[in-house]
Chain A
Amino acid sequence: MGHYWQEINALTMRWVRRLSREKFSMLFTLVQPMLFWLIFFGNLFQRAADTQVMQAPNYISFLAAGVVVMTVLNNGLAGGVDLLFDKENGFLERLMSTPIHRTSVILSRFIFVMAITSMQVLVILGVSYLFGVHPATGILGVAMILLIGMMFGVGLTAISMAMAFSVKSHGDFFSVLGFLSLPMIFLSSALVPLTAMPAWMSFLAQFNPMTWAIDAVRPLILSGWTEALPHVGMVVVVMLVFDALCLYGGAKAFRRAMG
């Protein structure tokens, strides 16, 4: 157990060091493009969006939940990139030739991605606060939002790692990534509630785990616990299933790649 902790700690610190070495990359990790969605898209659609349809005082407060979950989506799907580079340049082989527990590298990556994601979510909520979006459920609600984000993020990161271990080249990886992320966003309740969507889109969006996550985060921000709790209970169940599937797939891909 002591060894396991030593390994995970050292490997996680490696990701932190890498990030801190790239000042620009660190800056853009915190002040990320997702903020533009919130600031520009949120304010741009302020008058175009119907608050009756949104069931929210204004569009930006409706959008906040969507941007939070979009942040989780982007981070999760990109979570395997560094392992992909490690695989391509042989660093992963070097790590795996040492007497470490086979899961240490992967676990360190989960920890790192989850930590970064949580920080970004807090930045998003902070900026939303400046625009007058005050979470109805308070600090505890924010903690709940982070928990939901992490549950969703674990599954996404597992998908990303599975892809990293399976693809032949990093070109393939980024093509699939770019292809996945936009439909995931548009076919969810991130920008528009399901009730306002064309029937075929809202039908597809129901099967998107992202919709479930947003539908739980949104009342935590807009309404309060009584409204939110049923959705929170539901999303926990959905995410447990989602994570189980993704982790199973990820473990299979990892085992195949590592002989």
Chain B
Amino acid sequence: MDRAIAIDVNRLCKTYDGHKAVDDLSFRIYAGEIFGLLGPNGAGKSTTLRTLITLLHPTSGTATVMGYDTVREADQVRTVIGYVPQERAIDRFLTGREHLQLLGALYHLTKDEAAKRIGELLKLVELEAHADRPAKTYSGGMKRKLDIACGLLPDPKILFLDEPTLGLDVQSRLRIWEYVRMLKARGMTVVMTTNYLDEADQLCDRLAIIDGGKIKTLGAPAELKIALGGDIVSLTLKETSRIQSLASDLTGRPAIKTVRATTKGLDIRVESPEKALPTILESANRLGCDIEFIQYNRPRLDDVFIAHTGRAITESPPEVESA
């Protein structure tokens, strides 16, 4: 693929007090895509993000953003990125407009440029009516919108979002997703961390699953699901004594990839359910197995996560890490 590279991470390591927060990461992010860093808390995704936005220096390895090195050319990197930190990175006493004016000065905009852009952004995130109230009167969703407006103020090439919908209600969440899709449509590259599987699945063009400071797998959500090896048909049998005979009968049949016995029945990975289901039913009939329940699942991102990390995202990591 010869798509333009927005971010190039090469053998990145970051160690804190002997603990490897990020361990030999290498990946590329292409211009114009929404890229997700997915992982549980403490997986290293925030550390990776904060290295890319120049706030952390890597222990070893390099990262470039739009061709600029994040350490040696940090200032150039800072001019092409926008950053939306986790919630509450807001000064309660300043109004929404004052937040944007402050950032306007920090990005060295003239008063007129800033005023014009601030007007546009307030409109975009629907905060015009509240722009001159102190931020302490804002709801969680409004604060998040202001956060995003702040991130967009420099008109960045790449926008970094750290857990953009953490702790938000469903409506605000969907609204934030809308913004992100719209930014992509305008040609912006978006890099986000999340520990919500549905968010990664719905929003990201490609994602990296990170756990224990390492990339476990990387690709488009659909690719990752396909790579698991097809859809799953789960059978629950009335008589568990018949599970073994049905399993051995089905093994090796066309359209059926693997058969695994469970406590109540079978989990069968199939190439296509259209071809496999008749085979399964015919076999069960012939052997006289009464089927109590039949369920058919496309693999979800949860399955991808479990397959690559050995646990669900909500389970705590095996080693307890210090915060």
Which residues from chain A sit less than 8 Å from chain B, CB to CB?
A: 3, 6-7, 9-11, 14, 17-18, 21-22, 89-91, 93-100, 104, 258-259
Contacts and interface: CB of A to CB of B under 8 A. Distances in A.
**Interface size class of chain B, counting residues whose CB lies under 8 Å from the partner chain:** 20 to 34
B294 interface: no
A116 B54 CA distance: 33
Nearest to B77: A99
A94 B105 contact: no
Interface centre among B56, B81, B98 (most CB of A within 10 A): B98
A100 B79 CA distance: 9
A10 B100 CA distance: 11
A18 B91 contact: yes
A9 B54 contact: no
Given A17-B94, A17-B98, A93 B103 contact: no
Contacts of B102: 10-11, 14
B116 interface: no
B134 interface: yes
B183 interface: no
A259 B53 CA distance: 12
A197 B75 CA distance: 55
Nearest to A22: B93
Interface in B84-103: 85-86, 88-91, 93-94, 98, 101-103
Nearest to A92: B89
Contacts of A94: 83, 85, 89, 103, 150
Contacts of A3: 108
Of the candidates B79, B93, B101, the one having the most CB atoms from chain A within 10 angstroms of its own CB is B93
16 contacts: A9-B105, A10-B106, A11-B106, A14-B98, A17-B94, A18-B91, A21-B94, A91-B91, A94-B89, A97-B53, A97-B81, A98-B106, A99-B108, A258-B55, A259-B50, A259-B56
Contacts of A9: 105
A149 to B, nearest CB: 27
Contacts of A96: 55
Nearest to A100: B106
A10 B114 CA distance: 13
A93 B98 contact: no
B107 interface: yes
A182 B164 CA distance: 45
Nearest to A168: B323
Given A93-B89, A94-B83, A99 B55 contact: no
B288 to A, nearest CB: 64
Nearest to B81: A97
A96 B103 CA distance: 11
Given A9-B105, A10-B102, 12 more contacts: A10-B106, A14-B91, A21-B94, A22-B93, A90-B85, A91-B89, A91-B90, A97-B83, A98-B103, A99-B75, A99-B79, A259-B56
Nearest to A98: B106
A194 B206 CA distance: 71
Of A9, A96, A97, chain B has the most CB atoms within 10 Å of the CB of A97
Contacts of B103: 94, 98
Contacts of B88: 89-90
Contacts of B44: none
A259 B15 CA distance: 12
Contacts of B91: 14, 18, 91
Contacts of A99: 75, 78-79, 106-108
Smallest CB-CB A-B distances: 7 pairs:
A10-B105, A90-B89, A99-B78, A90-B85, A97-B83, A259-B56, A21-B93
A97 B78 contact: yes
Given A90-B88, A99-B79, A259 B106 contact: no
